[in-house]
Structure 1
Amino acid sequence: MNILIFEYITGGGLVGETLPASLVGEGELMLNTVSEDLSELDDVQVSVMRDYRLQSNKQAKYEYIVDAKNGFADVIECVAKTIDALLIIAPESEGILSTLCEEYSNREFIMLNSTSRCVALVSDKLKTYKYLKCFNIPQIPTYEMSDVKLINSDKIIIKPKDGVGCERIHLLEISNNSSDVVNQFDTHNYIAQPYIQGQSASLSLLCWDGKCKLLSVNIQNIEEIEDGLELKGCVVNALEHDRFVEFSNSLIKTLPDLRGYVGVDILISKDKVLLVEVNPRLTTSYAGLSSALDVNPAGLILKTFIDQKLPEFFVLQETSITVNIGAERAA
């Protein structure tokens, strides 16, 4: 089985633009891990796409160079008839991931991603909040910028509707004149939330047809930096699963078109588990799964798509693994 991995940052998505070192580092981490996991499977050959400015990737059997003359879309079309599956790792911001999922669905190869429609929904934090509110999913209250005055909190978080991770997040003291806050941001593209004390964490899920397997519960190391937040890394498989199974099942039941690996950011505040956001793609936590669970997560993902149902398996090992990444600045 021939599988092509398109990691957007390292695979030519930014040809013609500057390659930010922090994004390259995180992209390489996920690319190398999933490439290695897939390469360990029987009868699987892995190929990757590569920005011409980066050194060769040693994990893949084949490598396709992307440059100004041959863009990533040209390369994918060129090799489309030679691959059996395509895995896209890309940011949700600016509709990048949803557009790619729409473009490469319904092809002769299997796309190892969620549907474009579902990706588009969860990529918009305000739409996701309103949708999931109908199903009583516990979430951090989310407001349009014009409604900042309704937030009953001394601190608020301002973030892009389609932001990724800690990207462009601002942590601000609320003043008596809330218009001062609103005027700093594009009211159409940003949202506001109350700042709630708690433990930042994430869930690594395997999903299909409204059902899920909880692979791990991960602690996130997020620090306050000036007026923003910075993700330093995570501890994979750090917390017991039992408390989070019902939450996971209830959430994924409302989003039946989430497929394969899904990361869910949560906040554990006192006795509550609150949804922060849904990431319909590989996340940083994936990098520690194989070691933490003593199972090949890429094999589970691939089997799910081939069988079109969740596999039966047992977690054989309960080990926590620390994953450190480069700084992801909220600017």
Structure 2
Amino acid sequence: MKILVSEYVLSTYQDHYLELLPEAYAMVITLAETLSTAGCEVYLTISNKIPRVKWSKVVTVNNEEEYYYLIKQARDRFDWVILIAPPLELIKLSKMVNNKFFGPPHRLVEIFSDKCSAYLALEKCEIKTPKTILVEKSLPEYSYLSDLNPPYVVKPALLAGSECVYFARNKSEVVEFARRAMKCDPRGRVLIQEYVKGVHGSISVIYGRNGYLFYSLNLQFVTLSENRFKYMGGTLPIRNNVFREKVEVVLNKLYKCYPELKGYIGLDIVWSENDVYVIEVNPRFTTSIIGICEIFPRV
């Protein structure tokens, strides 16, 4: 089986994403080694600005325009394409490779990559998620926030990870941080959520034809400094029967709502008073795959 593993940051070398290079490199090398051990022929897309990589089968990319052209061609040249990219880019790329994408269908990539539509999808599935309002075009009035209880989390609708995500203690901070987050978001849209107090974690799940095949419950180390959240790493797997039962309820509800789910999905969660709140859904491989492949090499 011939597989292309393509990570956007490693392939295009965009200045505003360069801090993500170490984890991007770790993910693609981990996936390449794991799939190669399983008997697959694995290729990577790598920017010509990256001096050296520990892999022999490399497709060199000279610029972003060429990258999109190569991904479009990959649909006919590979059995599967694994894509790792920020939300807006992932939506565009998954549409290009269509059914060769090693993950959920493009429709679900669109839904879960956008934090607003993901929130609505989670509510539809009756999965607990923080109360949320969407702000677009103009900054929120104080009255617009009356349905939310402080403190708040303010974040762009279409950015990955903790980039431009703020912790606001009061409504005046919400307005200021919404202004900043709007500048970060490609479409100028911002989500304001109630902050859920608890333990930060994630769920890494692989869906197959009849539901989930495997999942790992992971702990995340998240710091708060100057009203900004920062991901500092994590540990896995977490073994806790109470959390395990709650997590399996979430995974089954998600599959019942969207039975076309397939491949790897990453869910950011908070454990709060013996319950699980899903914060975000990532329809692609996440950094947890590095630890999973080391601990469970046969997955």
Answer whether contact 2:165 2:181 (CA < 8 A) is retained.
Answer: no
Mapped pair 1:123 → 2:123:
no
2:70 alignment counterpart: 75
Aligned positions of 1:10-89 closer than 5 A:
10-12=10-12, 14=13, 17-18=14-15, 20-42=17-39, 44-59=40-55, 61-68=56-63, 71-77=66-72, 81-89=76-84
- 1:287-314 CA distance string (max 9 Å, x none): 0112323x433xxxxxxxxxxxxxxxxx
Question: What residue identity is the alignment partner of 2:238?
Answer: A
Q: Which residue of 2 aligns with 1:320?
A: none
1:89 counterpart letter in structure 2 = I
Aligned length: 285
SS in 2 for 1:221: strand
1:286, distance to aligned residue in structure 2 (A): 0.5
Query: For residues 218 and 149 of structure 1, what CA distance do their matches in structure 2 show?
Result: 34
**Aligned-residue CA RMSD (Å):** 2.4
Distance, in Å, in 2 between the alignment partners of 1:177 and 1:38 is 46
Alignment of 1:134-173 (within 5 A): 134-145=124-135, 146=140, 147-153=144-150, 155-173=151-169
Q: Which residue of structure 1 aligns with residue 275 of structure 2?
A: 272
| Residue pair 1:203, 1:215 contacting (<8 A) in 2 also | yes
1:230-266, Cα deviation, whole Å (9 max, x unpaired)? 0010102123334421221112322233320111111
Runs of 5+ in structure 1 lacking a partner?
Answer: 298-331
- 1:209 and 1:98, CA in 2 relative to 1: closer, same or farther beyond 3 A? farther
Question: 2:3 corresponds to which residue?
Answer: 3
Change (3 A) 1:81 1:180: closer
Q: Distance in 2 between matches of 1:239 and 1:56?
A: 38
Q: Is 1:296 equivalent to 2:298 in the alignment?
A: yes
Helix, strand or coil: the match of 1:237? Answer: coil
After TM superposition, the structure 1 stretch with the greater mean CA deviation from structure 2, 267-276 or 63-72, is 63-72
1:153-205 C-alpha deviation (Å, 9 max, x unpaired): 2x211001122111110111204797566555539510101122100010110
Q: 2:269, 2:64 → 1: CA distance?
A: 42
**What SS does structure 2 have at the residue aligned with 1:234?**
strand
1:227 to partner: Cα distance? 1.2
1:230 matched residue in structure 2? 230
DSSP-derived class of the 1:230 partner:
strand
Is the alpha carbon distance of 1:138 and 1:4 closer, same or farther for their aligned partners in structure 2, counting shifts above 3 Å? same
Structure-2 residue corresponding to 1:287: 290
Find the counterpart in structure 2 of residue 206 from structure 1: 206
* 1:96 aligned residue: 89
Q: State the AA in 1 paired with 2:92.
A: T
Q: Is the 8 A contact 1:99 1:116 kept in 2?
A: no
Unaligned runs of 5+ in 2: none
What's the secondary structure of 1:212's corresponding residue?
Answer: strand
Mapped contact 2:270–2:276 kept (Cα < 8 A): yes
Given the two structures, how large is their TM-score scaled by the length of structure 2? 0.87
In the alignment, is the contact (CA less than 8 A) between 2:9 and 2:18 conserved in 1? Answer: no
Cα distance in 2 for residues equivalent to 1:143 and 1:69: 34
Structure 1 counterpart SS, 2:261? coil
User: Is the Cα contact below 8 Å between 2:91 and 2:106 reproduced in 1?
Assistant: yes
Q: Tell me, what secondary structure is at the counterpart of 1:10?
A: helix
Q: 135-144 vs 173-182, which deviates more?
A: 173-182
Cα distance in 2, alignment partners of residues 113 and 88 from structure 1: 8
| Structure 1 residue 208 displacement after superposition | 3.2
Cα distance change on mapping 1:30 and 1:184 into 2, 3 Å:
closer
Given the superposition, is the C-alpha separation of residues 179 and 58 from structure 1 closer, same or farther in structure 2, using an over 3 Å criterion? closer
* Structure 1 letter corresponding to 2:42: V
C-alpha contact (below 8 Å) 1:86/1:111 kept by paired residues? yes
SS at match of 1:32: helix
3-state SS of paired residue (1:113):
coil
Q: Higher helix proportion, which one?
A: 2
Distance 1:185 1:285 in 2: 26
